[in-house]
């Protein structure tokens, strides 16, 4: 094995007991080719981009070589999938290469996704197609640029091998970076086995890694639960504020670090409708846009159940602590959401009617079938110039009078604000992106890559999304929603 310098692995999770994971190396592929390397992220991680882009580096990113210091493992976890508990899931097509401590002193996982079968594959091939790999790269990096906690994408490599789903597709491997890959489902794995020792070890590991302040609390495991609730409440509010729909909020896709993880059938709304669902497998709308806060609450309740043996020796007392703690979720979520909506509406002060003002706009957008992203963005222009009202009104194609009934109330509310129009416009544009991963643009990029090995649309889309709040001449088409004749958009899991 050739030497791969510049990979300072320090693998704390691999030092936990063997029942937390399976040790194995990735399965080599035929002809790895680097499609994309996130050089800025590599530098942030303290890695040398030139090493990663070298033949040996690409071999590592494809799973053909194991770098010194790496201790490859597939993590064990369970999970509720669409409400049904599965006691063993685990990394069926992903292998954690190890951990690095980045330039800010933050420990980060480096994982290969699509790296071959593991003991958790459940008869799957452990591989990924280039389309889902590039989708996760695009959307996760867009989320990072939007300021939303997320896993990141370090590299995408094609394998030179076909994989079979509905037909033959080109294979690929994603290198994913996360604060950790520990999920609610990881705790459920051990709770289902009544392995209290493992639960305590896992909780202590999470506290040390993500919530060190909890260690000093009078009740550390309660403090852990409170901290995870706080991060999930803030995260889901941020999703709703940009029109993001995760699509598959199973407990095994709920990160205890509070990051967005597992970009399968995810998408961003065009026209606002709170019942929007894109996932082809979500037939009942369980994970619709507006259901995401209640699902986060449900997932956190499952997390609280796993912590009961750690919260108190007496089960009734433990249950009371868990319920009391879980009860803080709604207020935290609502505060985060309303605070974000105030920013989106250009409000720097707080008044009692602000929540109703925001909700009435959302109701009008639903009636008018107005584009979510562009409505808020153009309101920023209208804040500085009332003549720009027409640009917002034009988005309410189905019922423009719904906008007419609302705009006067907003303008009256702005008279209570200290900022002038130009300042308010700048503040609103800083809170309301112009460019999001429009579904039709994502599909164009994926189709060009999968069908023609043309990665130019992928690269251009990434460049646009890297600065989502900054208007740039020549990119107007990237701000526009899908053409009306696109029809109903459906997304699919990447497995």
Main-chain dihedrals φ then ψ at residue 8, nearest 5 degrees: -80, 70
Rg (CA), the chain: 23
Rounded percentage of the chain residues whose pLDDT exceeds 90: 92
Q: 406: which residues sit within 8 A by CB, 6+ positions away?
A: 360, 361, 364
Q: For all residues of the chain together, what is the average pLDDT? A: 95
Question: Is residue 488 pLDDT above 70, yes or no?
Answer: no
Structure-model confidence comparison of residues 483 and 433, the more confident one: 433
The single residue of 91, 109, 252, 371 carrying the catalytic annotation is 252
Question: Is residue 278 pLDDT above 90, yes or no?
Answer: no
Label each residue of 73-135 as H, E or C. EEECCCEEECCEEECCCCCCCEEEEEEEECCCCCEEEEEEECECCCCCCCCCCCEEEHHHHHH
| Span 322-335, average pLDDT | 98
Could you list the residues known to form a binding site for Mg(2+), using ranges.
253, 262
Q: What band does 284 get if pLDDT is binned at 50, 70 and 90?
A: confident
Question: Is residue 2 pLDDT above 70, yes or no?
Answer: no
Q: What band does 279 get if pLDDT is binned at 50, 70 and 90?
A: confident
Measured distance CA(262)–CA(253) in Å, rounded: 6
Question: Is residue 361 pLDDT above 80, yes or no?
Answer: yes
| Span 440-468, average pLDDT | 97
What is the pLDDT at residue 490? 67
CA separation, residue 132 to residues 330, 405, 480 (Å) = 33, 43, 23
pLDDT digits 0-9 by tens, 62-82: 999 999 999 999 999 999 999
What is the pLDDT at residue 1? 39
Rounded percentage of the chain residues whose pLDDT exceeds 70: 97
Q: 328: which residues sit within 8 A by CB, 6+ positions away?
A: 226, 229
pLDDT digits 0-9 by tens, 146-186: 999 999 999 999 999 999 988 899 999 999 999 999 999 99
What is the pLDDT at residue 495? 42
**pTM of model > 0.85:** yes
Measured distance CA(205)–CA(201) in Å, rounded: 6
Measured distance CA(115)–CA(423) in Å, rounded: 49
Q: Is 252 a catalytic residue?
A: yes
Q: What band does 283 get if pLDDT is binned at 50, 70 and 90?
A: confident
């Amino acid at each position: 094995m050739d030497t791969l310098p510049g990979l300072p692995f320090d693998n704390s999770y691999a030092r936990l007991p063997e029942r937390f994971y399976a040790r194995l190396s990735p399965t080599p592929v035929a002809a790895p080719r680097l499609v994309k390397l996130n050089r800025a992220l590599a530098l942030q991680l303290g890695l040398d981009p030139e090493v990663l882009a070298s033949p040996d580096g690409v071999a590592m990113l494809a799973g053909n070589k194991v770098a010194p210091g790496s201790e490859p493992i597939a993590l064990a976890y369970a999970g509720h999938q669409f409400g049904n508990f599965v006691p063993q899931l685990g990394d069926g097509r992903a292998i954690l290469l190890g951990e690095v401590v980045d330039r800010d002193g933050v420990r980060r996982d480096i994982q290969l996704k699509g790296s071959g079968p593991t003991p958790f594959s459940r008869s799957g091939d452990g591989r990924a197609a280039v389309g889902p790999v590039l989708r996760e790269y695009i959307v996760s990096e867009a989320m990072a640029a939007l300021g939303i906690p997320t896993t990141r994408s370090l590299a995408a490599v094609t394998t030179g091998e076909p994989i079979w789903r509905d037909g033959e597709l080109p294979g690929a491997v994603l290198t994913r970076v996360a604060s950790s890959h520990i999920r609610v489902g990881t705790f459920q794995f051990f709770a289902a086995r009544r392995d209290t020792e493992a639960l305590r070890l896992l909780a202590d590991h999470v506290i040390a890694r993500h919530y060190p302040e909890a260690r000093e609390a009078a009740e550390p495991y309660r403090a852990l639960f409170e901290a995870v609730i706080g991060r999930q409440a803030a995260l889901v509010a941020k999703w709703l504020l940009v029109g993001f729909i995760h699509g598959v909020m199973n407990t095994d896709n709920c990160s205890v670090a509070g990051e967005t993880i597992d970009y399968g059938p995810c998408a961003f709304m065009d026209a606002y409708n709170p019942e929007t669902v894109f996932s082809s497998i979500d037939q009942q709308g369980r994970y619709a846009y507006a259901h995401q806060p209640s699902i986060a609450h449900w997932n956190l309740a499952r997390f609280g159940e796993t912590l009961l043996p750690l919260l108190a020796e007496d089960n009734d007392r433990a249950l009371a602590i868990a319920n009391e703690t879980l009860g803080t979720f709604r207020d935290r979520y609502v505060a985060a959401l309303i605070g974000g909506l105030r920013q989106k509406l250009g409000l720097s002060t707080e008044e009692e009617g602000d929540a109703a003002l925001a909700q009435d706009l959302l109701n009008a957008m639903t009636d008018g079938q107005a584009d979510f992203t562009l409505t808020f963005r153009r309101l920023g222009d209208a804040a500085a110039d009332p003549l720009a009202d027409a640009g917002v009104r034009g988005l309410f194609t189905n019922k423009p009078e719904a906008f007419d009934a609302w705009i006067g109330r907003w303008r009256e509310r702005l008279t209570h604000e200290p900022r002038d129009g130009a300042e308010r416009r700048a503040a609103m544009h800083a809170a309301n992106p112009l460019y999001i991963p429009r579904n039709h643009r994502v599909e164009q990029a994926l189709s060009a890559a999968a069908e023609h090995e043309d990665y130019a649309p992928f690269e251009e889309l990434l460049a646009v999304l890297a600065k989502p709040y900054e208007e740039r001449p020549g990119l107007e088409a990237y701000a526009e929603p899908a053409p009306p004749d696109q029809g109903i958009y459906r997304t699919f899991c990447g497995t």
